């Protein structure tokens, strides 16, 4: 009798369980303190209890541990210096959604060569997160695969649900159980309503299929996440960081009975895919905040050690150090200048 299952499956590879990986790469006391302090600070900003602005900055994607740690060291220095005015969190993105095909991130392909050693990717991602948090710098990411949070979420202070997945019931349910604030990007079309709907869904309790720390398939029961919020990232119609679009998003949040708090992502459609135009969006939004719009609680910037992007070819060893292999980023000098400019325009907190 012909088989009716696994017709297109060529093989399966068992993985280490989340609990076993955590035993190999445990959260140190210093890292745990950073995670908890980061989550509280972000939550306080979102709820209006802290007047500082949230800044989520870092590489579009992580592909080189050494360069990422150098970047983290630089960012930590600025974060400590400006901590009375800014809550600075590093982007540590290990999964990259793709419209068609392409490199899917360090977690999926850590060797950059199509070998897809996900076990190695999980180890590399967790190892980096332990180090970044132990330094004293909170970490942010985007959770794409709903199993991944079991491996990494204990080291994350803020996460995004991307424009392609904000409408996904699976990701809204996942967000309802996450332990940190969650930013929902507006849809790729620019539609903010899908992010508002995601906020409503994620604030509710859910029950869904998932895995526990031992890797056992189970029913996951959640209480709902009160710290969901909208992230404006532009859309197919162009940028949406300007005052008119921000006010429109506020009205939609208010109409849904939700807090009028939002972040602006300076990259993606808000920069028209030109990394240097992130600076235009950043300064515009900072001026809106300085003019009194406290609904804008933070900004996102794609930034690396050096500006631009490079193609991932057949030889990973040929890659230039400190330059993105996904979306183009601004360099460190521009990043530091932006953060200092923001600190001069927002009130002190704490």
Q: What is the mean pLDDT of residues 220-224?
A: 98
Task: Residue 322: count other Cβ atoms within 10 Å of its Cβ.
Answer: 19
Residue 8 lies in a domain: no
Of 203, 165, 169, 170, the closest CA to residue 184 belongs to 165
The CATH number linked to 47 is 3.20.20.70
In a domain, 301, yes or no: yes
d(CA 59, CA 332): 10
- Mean pLDDT of the residues in the chain: 96
Spatial neighbors of 52 by CB under 8 A, at least 6 apart, are 41, 45, 84, 85, 86, 87, 346, 348, 349, 350
Rounded Cα gap, residues 8 and 122, in angstroms: 25
pLDDT at 137 over 80: yes
Assess if residue 12 is contained within a domain. Answer: no
| pLDDT tens track for 114-129 | 999 999 999 999 999 9
CA 111 – CA 46 distance, rounded (Å): 37
Model pTM?
0.97
Distance, CA of 302 to CA of 326 (rounded, Å): 10
User: Do the domain assignments include residue 9?
Assistant: no
Question: What percent of the chain is modeled with pLDDT above 70?
Answer: 99
Domain that holds residue 333: 18-345
350 domain residue, yes or no: no
The count of structural domains within the chain is 1
pLDDT at 143 > cutoff 90: yes
**Could you tell me the pLDDT band of residue 93, with boundaries at 50, 70 and 90?**
very high
Residue 10 lies in a domain: no
For residue 90, being part of any structural domain is answered with yes
The 10s digit of each residue's pLDDT in 168-197 is 999 999 999 999 999 999 999 999 999 999
Alpha-carbon distance 124 to 322, whole Å? 17
Q: Is residue 3 part of a domain?
A: no
Helix segments in the chain, DSSP class H = 18-24, 29-46, 65-81, 118-135, 149-152, 169-177, 193-202, 243-255, 278-290, 332-345
- Nearest CA to 62 out of 88, 94, 90, 89 is that of 94
Distance separating the N- and C-terminal Cα atoms of the chain: 70
């Amino acid at each position: 009798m012909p088989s009716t299952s696994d017709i297109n499956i060529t093989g399966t590879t068992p993985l280490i369980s989340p609990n076993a990986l955590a035993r190999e790469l445990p959260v140190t006391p210093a890292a745990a303190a950073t995670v908890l302090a980061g989550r509280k600070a972000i939550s306080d900003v979102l709820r209006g209890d802290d007047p500082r602005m949230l800044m989520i900055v870092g590489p579009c994607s992580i592909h080189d541990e050494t360069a990422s740690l150098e970047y983290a060291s630089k960012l930590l220095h600025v974060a400590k210096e400006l901590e009375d005015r800014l809550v600075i969190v590093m982007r540590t993105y290990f999964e990259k959604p793709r419209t068609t095909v392409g490199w899917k991130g360090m977690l999926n392909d850590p060797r950059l060569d199509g070998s897809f050693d996900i076990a190695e990717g999980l180890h590399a991602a967790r190892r980096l997160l332990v180090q970044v948090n132990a330094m004293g710098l909170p970490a942010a990411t985007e959770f794409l695969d709903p199993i991944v949070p079991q491996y990494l979420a204990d080291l994350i202070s803020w996460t995004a649900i991307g424009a392609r997945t904000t409408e996904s019931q699976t990701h809204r349910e996942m967000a309802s159980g996450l332990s940190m604030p969650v930013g929902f990007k507006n849809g790729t079309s620019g539609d903010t309503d899908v992010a508002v709907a995601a906020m409503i869904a994620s604030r509710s309790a859910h029950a869904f299929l998932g895995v526990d720390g031992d890797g056992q398939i189970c029913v996951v029961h959640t209480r709902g996440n009160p710290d969901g919020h909208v992230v404006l990232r532009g859309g197919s119609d162009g940028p949406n960081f300007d005052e008119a679009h921000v006010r429109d998003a506020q009205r939609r949040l208010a109409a849904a009975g939700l807090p009028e708090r939002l972040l602006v992502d300076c990259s993606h459609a808000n920069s028209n895919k030109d990394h240097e135009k992130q600076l235009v969006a950043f300064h515009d939004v900072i001026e809106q905040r300085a003019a009194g719009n406290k609904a804008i609680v933070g900004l996102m910037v794609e930034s690396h050690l050096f500006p631009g992007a490079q193609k991932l070819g057949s030889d990973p060893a040929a890659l230039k150090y400190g330059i993105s292999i996904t979306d183009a980023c601004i360099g460190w000098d521009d990043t530091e200048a932006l953060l200092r400019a923001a600190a001069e325009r927002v009130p002190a907190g704490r």
